[in-house]
Amino acid sequence: MFLQDANTLVENGNFEKAGDVHGAEGVTSSLTRDDTGAGACEVFYVTKVKVML
């Protein structure tokens, strides 16, 4: 099956904490969807994808 621009995906998975392994500032991620500002981006580990045709 090939994905098309009009397809909707339903994803299952978990938010993952990301950061710089060397302890440098400026590389962080969030574990929630409702925060804002620096470090508010999410890293989502996808375990299942369903394509809604």
Residues of the chain with pLDDT under 50: none
Q: Which pLDDT belongs to residue 43?
A: 83
Report the C-alpha gap between 53 and 10 in whole angstroms: 11
Both tokens assigned to 7: 């397809």
pTM for this entry? 0.60
CB 44 within 8 A of CB 13: yes
- In this prediction, residue 36 carries a pLDDT of 84
